[in-house]
Amino acid sequence: MDAEDLGQIDDPDKLSADLARPTDARDNLCVDGTTYRTQLPPKFRRRKPYVLHDQREVRARIPGTIVRLLVRPGQEVERGRQLLIVEAMKMQNALLAPCAGRVKAIHVEVGQRVPKGTLLAELQ
């Protein structure tokens, strides 16, 4: 069966998934070696592809308000260290350093409202 490859997910700690569209316009989803036949909705087909951003950039994963800055430019940080706190829906969310490095810049201020995807800090 001819198939158009629509993407693959491989994570040895979790699962392996592969999505392909055979010539009959239905979709095959293969998860851990088991193939499931499905049909994806048009909204899924029109979605923007996921783009992996630079790991040294810390971006807002959800819209919210900056309530606390825990680091300053020039400061050395370890992977997993809290960099800042964003409040969203009355919950405070700590954003962690994705890698070890030095804080290159902080692009926000306490009290600033930020939409999803906003560049908050940069590491070098």
Q: Does residue 8 or residue 56 have the better pLDDT? A: 56
What's the pLDDT at 4? Answer: 46
- Set out the domains of the chain in order of their start, with CATH numbers: 3-45 (no CATH), 57-123 (2.40.50.100)
Q: What does the pLDDT average to over 40-54?
A: 80
Cα–Cα distance for residue pair 65/85, rounded to 1 Å:
8
Q: Tens digit of pLDDT for each residue in 27-44?
A: 777 787 888 887 778 887
pLDDT tens for 13-32 read 555 556 555 545 567 777 87
More confident residue, 39 or 93: 93
Q: What are the CA-CA distances from residue 74 to residues 7, 106, 116, 122, 123 (Å)? A: 39, 10, 25, 11, 9
Which pLDDT value is given to residue 91?
95
In this prediction the pTM is 0.60
